[in-house]
Amino acid sequence: MEVYEYDLLVVGSGPGCQSAAVHAAELGKRVGLIERKPYIGGVSLQTGTIPSKALREAAYLASRFGARGMRQTRPASDGLDSAFLADAVARKQAVVDNQESLLLQRLLAAGVDLLPGEAAFADPHTLTITRADGGRQRLRAAVIVLATGSRPRRPPDVPFDKSRVLDSSSILKLRRPPRQLLVVGGGVIACEFATLFAPLGVQVQLVDSHAHLLAYLDEDIQRILEAEMLEMGVALHMRTPVATIHREGERVALVTADGQRLEADMLLYALGREPNYAGLNLAAAGLSADDNGWVLLNEHHQTSQAHIYIVGDLAGRPSLASTAMEQGRKAASHAFGTGSPPASGALPMAIYTIPELSYVGLTERELRERNIAYVVGRARFAESARGGIIGAERGFMKLLVGRADRAILGVHVIGESASELVHVGQMAINCAAGVDLLAQTMFNYPTLAQCYKNAALDCVRRLNQTV
């Protein structure tokens, strides 16, 4: 029998690694967690999910007033001052520090060994760890989980400088706001940052080659988001490929493929992310990436080496902290023979734009492609008492329900607390509850959750009309 120092070594400390490490430790396994940074938490905690959402919350609260409700978007006439941004950054860092402390306590309480250094494979079961002081050690493990995350894509022809031309990591370190911001991209990161800065007086222009933002969204949600962005002053340049980006003194110039020239104080490049495989020496483990730069995985997140798993952003889409946690837990369960946990069911997606949006299940487009007969139930926040109180004029909920069995097939929400509201629909889908349950349920008054009842009743009326 081979002798291993650890039952499990995890490389990285993001949500996927945390989940795998703690779950394996709870199974009585000896677990080591390797992190090359001087802090733990990975991109999710340190440079991505938590920091950007903490800044978004500060921007959201600072941009509300009571004209049409207690919380209504207001473009700041004098722009976003440096004092506000400095305070928001400080608050963001306080959130990060607190979460890092809680994570550290959780790992230590579970008995996970923290191993600082950069890991590289020496062979399929052995990792060489190089510490910051140059010292090295080799450790062997029966199972290895890789979750080193991803990084913003930085094409060589884009002049990134962390001052005027930024990616999604460097923009979080701003201390002074720009007067104008160019955003290249029409995906999640681009939309989130555009709506973070625009309501506070920054002149934002978004440039993307696609016809619509976030093309995979439900069409109604997509339309409302674009309308909200236009109202807060975001100039949308859609179907507009970028030709060149260059610095001109204290300005950034972008030239489109059709020769249009756009300028701003700063530019955020937000087109894609890349896996962090560099330095891992995958070849020594008998692994290699495909033509798109990703390692192929099976349904258990195993690589071609059955004892090596990849989870989180390193595994590719959907690149969500929530799915990374599930992947880590399931990988540890599968690796140590405790049986695969039950399927997670329908997984929700949230995008933290202003307003935020969230969905679970299928879209109308997907239902049409699958030839599934369905009805649509709609509810507008403005028609609820709570929506009126908060001035949620465009807040909207949409239910998609199967004609044949009255099952809930999709839930789509845009507006305040969308990322929280969607979980009612998620549980209904995963419990196979039909639309009649939502129609018959009593919700607190006044709440936005009442929109579920209103949308469900709309569905029931449509279903009964076709009986």
Report if residue 346 sits inside a domain: no
Confidence of residue 247 (pLDDT cuts 50, 70, 90): very high
What is the per-residue pLDDT for 224?
A: 94
One domain, residues 174 and 122:
no
The answer on pLDDT for 267 being more than 50 is yes
Confidence of residue 343 (pLDDT cuts 50, 70, 90): low
Confidence of residue 76 (pLDDT cuts 50, 70, 90): very low
In this predicted model, what pLDDT tens digit does every residue of 381-404 receive, in sequence order?
999 989 888 888 789 999 999 999
Average pLDDT over residues 128-150: 90
**In CATH, what number is assigned to the domain containing residue 445?**
3.30.390.30
Overall domain count for the chain:
3
- 159-to-111, 126, 154, 165, 246 alpha-carbon distances in Å: 45, 39, 9, 6, 6
**In CATH, what number is assigned to the domain containing residue 53?**
3.50.50.60
Confidence of residue 150 (pLDDT cuts 50, 70, 90): confident
One domain, residues 30 and 98:
yes
One domain, residues 140 and 25:
yes
One domain, residues 12 and 128:
yes
One domain, residues 30 and 130:
yes
Report if residue 344 sits inside a domain: no
User: Domain ends where: 286, 304, 335?
Assistant: 335
Mean pLDDT of the chain: 86
Q: Which of 330, 323, 324, 343 is nearest to 432 (CA)?
A: 343
One domain, residues 66 and 26:
yes
Task: Please name the residues in contact with 125: beta carbons below 8 A apart, sequence gap of 6 or more.
Answer: 2, 4, 140, 141, 142, 144, 307
Report if residue 369 sits inside a domain: yes
For the ranges 58-62, 204-208, 434-438, which has the lowest average pLDDT? 58-62
Query: Per mean pLDDT, which of 128-137, 247-256, 298-307 is the most reliable?
Result: 247-256
Which has more pLDDT, 90 or 188?
Answer: 188
Average pLDDT over residues 265-275: 91
Cα–Cα distance for residue pair 296/219, rounded to 1 Å? 32
Confidence of residue 86 (pLDDT cuts 50, 70, 90): low
Q: Which of 460, 458, 221 is nearest to 360 (CA)?
A: 221
Task: Please name the residues in contact with 109: beta carbons below 8 A apart, sequence gap of 6 or more.
Answer: none
One domain, residues 114 and 78:
yes
- 314-to-16, 53, 290 alpha-carbon distances in Å: 10, 21, 13
Tell me how crowded residue 349 is: count the other CB atoms within 10 A of its CB.
17
Which has more pLDDT, 213 or 93?
Answer: 213
The answer on pLDDT for 458 being more than 50 is yes
The answer on pLDDT for 250 being more than 50 is yes
One domain, residues 451 and 386:
yes
Which has more pLDDT, 224 or 318?
Answer: 224
Report if residue 341 sits inside a domain: no
Fill in the DSSP letter of residue 393.
S
The answer on pLDDT for 10 being more than 50 is yes
Helices 188-197 and 49-62, interaxial angle, to 10°? 30
The answer on pLDDT for 405 being more than 60 is yes
The answer on pLDDT for 177 being more than 70 is yes
One domain, residues 134 and 220:
no
Cα–Cα distance for residue pair 45/59, rounded to 1 Å? 19
Tell me how crowded residue 389 is: count the other CB atoms within 10 A of its CB.
13
Cα–Cα distance for residue pair 183/269, rounded to 1 Å? 6
What amino acid is encoded at 177 in this protein? P
What amino acid is encoded at 313 in this protein? D
Report if residue 158 sits inside a domain: no
Enclosing domain of residue 359:
355-465
Cα–Cα distance for residue pair 18/344, rounded to 1 Å? 18
Answer whether 454's CB lies under 8 Å from 384's CB: yes
Which has more pLDDT, 106 or 254?
Answer: 254
What is the per-residue pLDDT for 314?
A: 83
Which has more pLDDT, 364 or 37?
Answer: 364
Burial of 79 (0-12, 13-18, 19+ CB in 10 A): middle
Confidence of residue 75 (pLDDT cuts 50, 70, 90): very low
One domain, residues 141 and 194:
no
- How does DSSP assign 65-87, residue by residue? ESSSSSSEE---TT---HHHHHH
The answer on pLDDT for 71 being more than 60 is no
Which has more pLDDT, 215 or 457?
Answer: 457
Average pLDDT over residues 338-358: 80
Average pLDDT over residues 356-363: 95
Average pLDDT over residues 225-237: 93
Phi-psi region at 156: left, alpha or beta (left = phi > 0; alpha = psi -120 to 50)? alpha
Confidence of residue 169 (pLDDT cuts 50, 70, 90): confident
Cα–Cα distance for residue pair 290/22, rounded to 1 Å? 31
One domain, residues 48 and 82:
yes
User: Domain ends where: 249, 271, 293?
Assistant: 271
Could you tell me how far CA 402 lies from the centroid of its own chain?
A: 29
The answer on pLDDT for 360 being more than 90 is yes
For the ranges 13-27, 304-318, 331-345, 427-441, which has the lowest average pLDDT? 331-345
User: Domain ends where: 234, 251, 271?
Assistant: 271
What is the per-residue pLDDT for 78?
A: 46
What amino acid is encoded at 381 in this protein? F
For the ranges 145-159, 181-195, 236-250, 320-334, which has the lowest average pLDDT? 320-334
One domain, residues 278 and 251:
no
Maximum Cα interatomic distance, the chain, rounded to a whole number of Å: 74
Cα–Cα distance for residue pair 98/79, rounded to 1 Å? 30
Structure token pair of residue 434: 């039909």
- How does DSSP assign 206-263, residue by residue? EE-SSSSSSTTS-HHHHHHHHHHHHHTTPEEE-S--EEEEEEETTEEEEEETTS-EEE
Report if residue 428 sits inside a domain: yes
Confidence of residue 96 (pLDDT cuts 50, 70, 90): confident
Burial track 62-76 (b if 16+ CB lie within 10 A, e otherwise): bbbeeeebebebbee
Report if residue 306 sits inside a domain: yes
Report if residue 363 sits inside a domain: yes
The answer on pLDDT for 254 being more than 50 is yes
Answer whether 311's CB lies under 8 Å from 16's CB: yes
In this predicted model, what pLDDT tens digit does every residue of 38-70 receive, in sequence order?
777 666 555 666 667 777 776 677 666 544 444
Cα–Cα distance for residue pair 71/329, rounded to 1 Å? 39
What amino acid is encoded at 81 in this protein? D
Which has more pLDDT, 316 or 459?
Answer: 459
The answer on pLDDT for 252 being more than 90 is yes
Tell me how crowded residue 466 is: count the other CB atoms within 10 A of its CB.
8
